[in-house]
Structure 1
Amino acid sequence: MIESTPVTAPFPARDAFDEAVAEARRAARAYYDTGDALLTDADYDLLADRIAATIAAHPDWDDQGITTAVAAGASAGGDVRHPTPMLSLDKIKTAEEVAAFVATLGGDGCLVEVKLDGLAIRVEYVEGRLVLAALRGDGATGEDVTPQVRRGIAGLPTQLPTPWSGEVRGEVYMTVTDFEEASANRVAAGGKAFVNSRGAVAGSIRAIDRDYEAPMTFAAYEISGEFGSHLAAMAHAESLGFPPACTLIAEAAGECHTAEQVIAAIETIGAHRSDLAFPIDGAVIKANLDSTRRRLGLASRTPYWATAFKYPPDTASTVLRDIEVRVGRTGRISLRAIIDPVMVGGTTVTKATLHNPQWVAEQGLALGQTVAVWRAGDVIPRVTAPIGEQPHGLTPWTAPEQCPQCGEPWDKSSLLWRCHTASCAAANALAYWCSREALDVDGAGDAFCDVLVEAGIARNVADLYDLTVDGIAELAVGKTAAGGTVTLGRSNAERIIAGLEASKRQPFNRVITGLGIRMTGRSVGRWLAARFKSMDALRAATVEEIAQIDKMGLIKAQHVVDGLVAMSEVIDRLAERGLTMRVEDDGGEKPLAGKTYVVSGSVPGYTRTTVSERIEALGGSASSSVSAKTTALVTAETTTSKAKKAAQLGIPVIDPEEFARLLA
């Protein structure tokens, strides 16, 4: 549900207000003109809200355009003049503000679409050929980025299929995957990591001589011409090859006429935020009919016929307090940042992941430093970069030269250092076995598994099935603020034991995955189960037989054979305790036999793992890449690299909801 927003306190004195305005202008100038982040979105929004609250109390004070001008009045603009201004949107945060906006429409229909967290752009075409691309800038003028756009942006073709002349406006953005790829590529090329996806777009699209790959995507929200309504305009845009922003989430598409319908659409988009392949920071509410837009008109900075509802920011700043060094399930080094509690994407975060030690060194991360924490889609919160001014005298953090658990030197033959002492990965091996993508044991998280190993209760996954409620209920799992002991408790113990019992009904492929053999994961677990059908057959397989599986190869196959031998005793114990050791064939029809599907994005009612399992249970194959052998691509998007490749190969595209019905 949409919640009320606390009242923002104004600045108590003029000097504090003026200092805040100066800070906001510096941050806005960097944000709009370079893509650099001096403040996170959360910090900037709070600062801007306080400035607005102060102006409301002191209307004679000057905020220098922070609340009244396009790009907060801070952008330097550019050398291209827009024929009509590229405006900003007013922002609202409460259900009451939504209702007030809908009331201004006088009963006329409106649309609710995603507010992409990217960069506004205007592109001109003459006879179907791209001739100009310019950023929004200060709203009146913007930077010419035509050469950079011609380098390639999905959804923004340089040549249209028809000789259309006109302009299209929209947003250039990066998907979650593209952001991580672009940031890694920039670091590899000697640059700094990006703080967030919007900064990555801004920094990449402006870089004339960019020496790293930065995949980007375009979605349209305006096109020249007379159409009568926004829906008709976007249908025309889509026919020309421009994906409309209003269709990116199908469940929220279509006209709304009441505040209740608008709020429901906002909540629908918000509910999808965690599983979207692209970042959003809000929902845009806009009048559908051109007649409504003409009646309401424009302000100097914003249209009266559109507004933006803001969701909790997916990037926030906090202080890095410590970096924990752990050993992952396969012996690889794992870094975890301990941070001051901060709200990111509507969730309070106290821990975040980090890249490898080399990345940490390249960023100069130090304890006590202010860092940006990013959480988008279903990714684990991650420290992306230092942000803002940093305290002087901080010493950059360096990783220990030895494994902290056994004292042996790291194997540094790759970026992901490794410890070869098998016992070091025990706690993480237990946690991986219990994770959602493996055996999915409810309640048995990292902290619980750490305690089991520290107490000497469990050293391998088979030991988990010797646990009892009475044996773990009094297990010490933490301390109170006063220093007292916190125990697991009987209700939590019962939940974990019930979860372990339920895990015995998980399919054979998850047992293989849960073993955590080096260079294996969800996909390899499914491939091995589908090929060999039982643990006995798998353990009897040779390296050459396993290597015949597509995408396996001899190296992975050797790791599988070695891993199964090393875990022979554990596997025997798991079999004795009733874990599934063969593919259970229900004897039903196999309607997907001989068919291969690629799923991109989410399918209602399924996770990434369960949708693949369901495909294979029905006789089909689940693949991660589109090829000539692909039966169909399952996706709601039309601009991704997979969608473009499917179009080139003439492979059908199935909507996720339709595919869910097929699987059912």
Structure 2
Amino acid sequence: MPDAEEDAPEDNPYVRDPDTDFVPAADLDAEAAAAEAERLREAIRYHDYRYYVANDPVIGDRAYDALFSRLQELEDAFDVATEDSPTRRVGGEPLDELDSVDHVAPLLSIDSSGDEADVRDFVARVEREVGDARFVCEPKFDGLSVEVVYEDGEYVRAATRGDGETGEDVTENVRTIESVPQRLRGDPPAFLVVRGEVYIPRDAFQAYNAERVERGDDAFANPRNAAAGTLRQLDPSVTAERPLDCFFYDVLAAGESRDAVEPDASRGGLDAGIDTHWAEHEALPTWGLKVNDRAERVETADEIVAYRNDLGAEREDLNYEIDGVVVKVDDRRQCVELGVTARHYRWAYAYKFPARSEVTTISDVVVQVGRTGRLTPVALLEPVEVGGVTVSRASLHNPEEIAEMGVGVGDEVRVQRAGDVIPYVEEVVASHSEGHFEFPDACPRCGSDVEFDGPMAYCTGGLACPAQLVRSVGYFASVLDVEGIGEQAAEQFVDSGLVEHDVADLYDRSVDEIAELEGWGETSAQNLKAELDAARHPPLGKFLASIGIPEVGPTVARDVAAEFGTLDAVLDASEADFRAVDGVGDVVARHLREFLDNDRNRRVIERLRDESRLGEPEPVESTDGDALDGLTFVFTGSVEDWTRGDLQALVGRHGANATSSVSGNTDYLVVGANPGQSKREDADANDVPQISPAEFFELLAERGVDPTR
């Protein structure tokens, strides 16, 4: 690797101890801005090289961020951005789909085994066919293989391995990876194709998983899955937000031009005069391409086995996932002589590690906030295979169990899967922590006090807690049968700020505002507004179930509504009054009263009661008989002069059930104007009759039900 100091840009004020007290952009003319932007680009490329390749940065993160922000400011203000600018890493326009591209040279797979005898047989075969040989050993990264193309030193294209002959075009996504240079350094071949491995560092993976769990998302199973999913995102800006990195380890083709190289899977850099894998390994960083420093050149099978065993012993200390080592014949001419099979290089072999057991290490413990405010401790693990499934998180159940087992960050633990489904920490195998994880006194999402109910902990923030807000929106919509707001849409509404305070914000958004969300349009936005309107004035029981009172599901909510009749009566009821309701015990009564005593929750309820939003819940009236006894109805779409709540209350008064989803127990799906597609599909799948509003009212008449009473 060349001396990084000697290779620094000359006379660039932003290379060492940069002055970040910039002249206001408004005081610059276009020429001065363009010149400053070019110096900033040059300096930032150098700092990227020092950080990612040389592993020896010369400025701190804050100074780097200031230079980057200044470059963005100038490029935006004076329109002086270039195709290879570091600012292009923030991500381009979303794609409709990933195109397929042909590889310059085939990207084949590698034959593998975890058996030492098989590796020795590989070495023996190589020596029989080509004589004495040296080998290059390197870690076998557990990431996603990519082909990256440079022409005249400029980044041109990137593609996934695919089937080896063609791959998915991920040019814009790979562009966002900071360790992939947009412009090469030094004197690279005019046409250069390299192979790399995109991965997520283990520490970044655990931090990112912690963020996901804390905001209620599912954790990624392992870094490889996370990297693969991220690289295939259709929106490059999403890729840019995730902590991808890349090691380069192979030259696939190199020469004066694309026409001057042979598309051979074994030649590598031969057409550019680079005749060994080791020479390629040493050349890559001189061009600004990051390589792994654990590669070694060896000569015997014994040295290969020793390299693998030594690296395996250090596997848990590395900041990247590996599942073995790769052994490659060093001499490229010998590689050409050995050739390839239809799928494999005959000059390379993967010597795999044994699969990890169910014992692993806790890298962090985070607290997830549920829809009802319940706080659940989750252990983030070094990925481990349990029952054929890779596990990276496990439940710790509650603070009492944490204290009893003495679980802390850094401990080695045994992981099991309850019923072969839910992973949980069974025991501490070896303790490396001081004490155990201490449960927080405040909610990690909103800072509200944490309240304990026996072994369970709850956030007291209620509907005002951001973590509960996404779930509250989705749950509110599902209970009130509002189609169009699933978990993903609920996240969109909250993340975009359309729902900023509470679920009542749903009713304050216009069709135009909703239509601007990604994946939405005017028609779907209008349908959602119609769904919200159709759900106005719900039965009191459904309203109580929809607002997420802890321990209060549809059955308890219906019993409470039947006992008190109106929302005001429920709001005024005491804890003792609630305990008197059949099916409501001490715990549920306390949750009801505490939830309704919370000022923020009361404000949400009052906002929902406003006629411009949900409106007053339908009071529970005395039953009008059992003419519809035994029938179950589901309503979708809008019915003129009727809200969905009115219809549900109507059939309920006459002995029928009104549910939110279609199942095999549903007798009729009543389909109004602008119906939801999913309910109709479920009806088809379950052979449920679909009737119009007119047919519904005819059915009522046949049963002697007068809907006007």
Q: Give the alignment's TM-score, normalised by structure 1.
A: 0.38
Choose 1 or 2 for highest CA Rg. 2
Q: Give the alignment's TM-score, normalised by structure 2.
A: 0.36
